Copies of this chain bind each other. A is one copy, B any other.
Amino acid sequence: MDPHSEQRLPLLVVLMAGGGGTRLWPLSRPEQPKQCLPLLGGRSLFESTVDRLSGSVPLEQIFVVSNRHLEPLLRAAATAIPAENFLCEPSPRNTAPAVAYALARLQARHPKFVMACLPSDHYIADTEAFRRLMQAARTLAEKEFLVTLGIAPTGPVTGYGYIEQGEPLPAVDGFPAFRVRRFTEKPGMELAREMVQSGSYTWNSGMFFWRSDVIDTELLRHQPAIGRAVARLTDAFERKDGGAALEKIWAAMPNLSLDYGVLEKSDRVAVLPARGLGWTDIGSWDALVELYQAHPELRTDVPEGHLDAGSKSVTVIRKTGDDRVLATVGLDDVIIVETDEAILICRAGKSQDVRAIAEMAQKRKSGRKPD
């Protein structure tokens, strides 16, 4: 059935699960960040990500990078993944060090493989379409490309980075593929419109596939310090001495994203444009509300004690221990999120500004602690 089956390298998946974003404040918080919130039919985004992979990737080939605070939570949520597959960052860095760490750990066990680096806090409606695309990405990675999955834009969104397609490559397993010409930071509305109209841009989903030896070489070429760290770490993990080496090497790791440090510099980067996945990064309350509107079955919590008179398009998410009434009167297009620590009242379409509030709230909290 599979023309590659005899010659294929193993596919090892690394889930990035250490993030502690603020965009779903106040529900997401350091102790329970977005990937751990039970937003999808009572299951968390992390659980749902593991579910999505489990049909096509053996669970012992799934690895999870997080930190000492989140690891117990994530282990408990995915008990079928072997305990030794949970990788713990000594302190928060960025994606380049995280990839280096995972690469070293995996290389110590496997001589050569395709590595998929995937976020653990995105939603994909069509699992089958995703699996097919993943197989194509794997095929393209085997051909020594650093492969990015680009999401075909559904509108001129300013909240994502964009990938500009360059020279077309031969189709892969039926999917069109391109070399990447340029990565573009989150654009303004006018530029976003132009890019979407041109048809040659996709959103950067943060889903990457590469061969272990290829990313190793590209790290050494573009970030030699990190590349050398990978070699030393790989040796240490082979000697079963990875823990001590990691502590020492990690401290010297630069705070650098892999996008900036390698992908924007390499000439081996390719993009597979993805259509019809039903993908969202749930990067804001607006995105979650849109998702719930499109897939009402995903929303299983019923807000307790909400009374309304004459409002339209009001979404209420209540996760509180108390029994207060929450009353809305005559509101249009408002998102309300209540927890035991805070209440957020946000105009629909403005939830990108929640991040600023989360920072203010953090400052307020710190400011109130005695010195």
Apart from A325-B341, A330-B349, 15 more pairs, CB < 8 Å? A26-B325, A307-B361, A307-B364, A310-B350, A324-B340, A324-B342, A327-B361, A328-B346, A329-B345, A329-B351, A329-B354, A330-B347, A330-B353, A334-B345, A345-B345
CA–CA, A323 to B340, complex, Å?
A: 10
CA–CA, A125 to B146, complex, Å?
A: 74
Residues of B within 8 A of A353 (CB): 309-310, 329-330
Residues of B within 8 A of A331 (CB): 334, 345-347
Residues of A297-338 contacting chain B, CB below 8 A: 305, 307-311, 324-332, 334, 336, 338
A343 part of interface (Cβ distance < 8 Å): yes
Q: What per-residue 1/0 map shows which CB atoms of A335-371 lie under 8 Å from chain B?
A: 0101011111111011101101100110010000000
Interface size on A, residues (CB 8 A): 37
9 CB < 8 A contacts A-B: A307-B364, A309-B350, A309-B354, A324-B342, A325-B364, A326-B342, A327-B344, A328-B345, A331-B334
Cβ B346 vs Cβ A324 within 8 A: no
CA–CA, A330 to B351, complex, Å?
A: 8
Residues of B within 8 A of A309 (CB): 350, 353-354, 356-357
Contacts A340-B324, A341-B324 given; does A330 touch B346 at CB 8 Å = yes
CA–CA, A329 to B331, complex, Å?
A: 14
A338's nearest neighbour on chain B, judged by CB, is B343
CA–CA, A340 to B334, complex, Å?
A: 23
Cβ A329 vs Cβ B344 within 8 A: yes
CA–CA, A173 to B351, complex, Å?
A: 61
Cβ B329 vs Cβ A343 within 8 A: no
Residues of B within 8 A of A308 (CB): 357
A→B interface (CB under 8 Å): 26, 305, 307-311, 324-332, 334, 336, 338, 340-347, 349-351, 353-354, 356-357, 360-361, 364
Residues of B within 8 A of A332 (CB): 347
Cβ A345 vs Cβ B336 within 8 A: yes
Contacts A307-B364, A310-B350, A364-B307 given; does A329 touch B357 at CB 8 Å = yes
In the complex, which of the residues B310, B311, B361 contacts A325, with contact meaning CB atoms closer than 8 Å? Answer: B361
Residues of B within 8 A of A324 (CB): 340-343
Most-contacted residue by chain B among A307, A310, A340, A353 (CB, 10 A): A307
A342's nearest neighbour on chain B, judged by CB, is B325
CA–CA, A336 to B325, complex, Å?
A: 13
CA–CA, A346 to B329, complex, Å?
A: 5
Residues of B within 8 A of A354 (CB): 309, 327, 329
Residues of B within 8 A of A346 (CB): 327-331
Most-contacted residue by chain B among A308, A328, A345, A349 (CB, 10 A): A345
Residues of B within 8 A of A357 (CB): 307-309, 327, 329
Residues of B within 8 A of A307 (CB): 357, 360-361, 364
CA–CA, A305 to B364, complex, Å?
A: 9
10 smallest CB-CB distances across A and B, nearest first, come from: A330-B350, A330-B347, A325-B342, A329-B346, A309-B353, A327-B357, A327-B344, A307-B360, A309-B356, A325-B361
Distance in angstroms from A197 CB to nearest chain B CB is 27
CA–CA, A255 to B356, complex, Å?
A: 55
Distance in angstroms from A308 CB to nearest chain B CB is 8
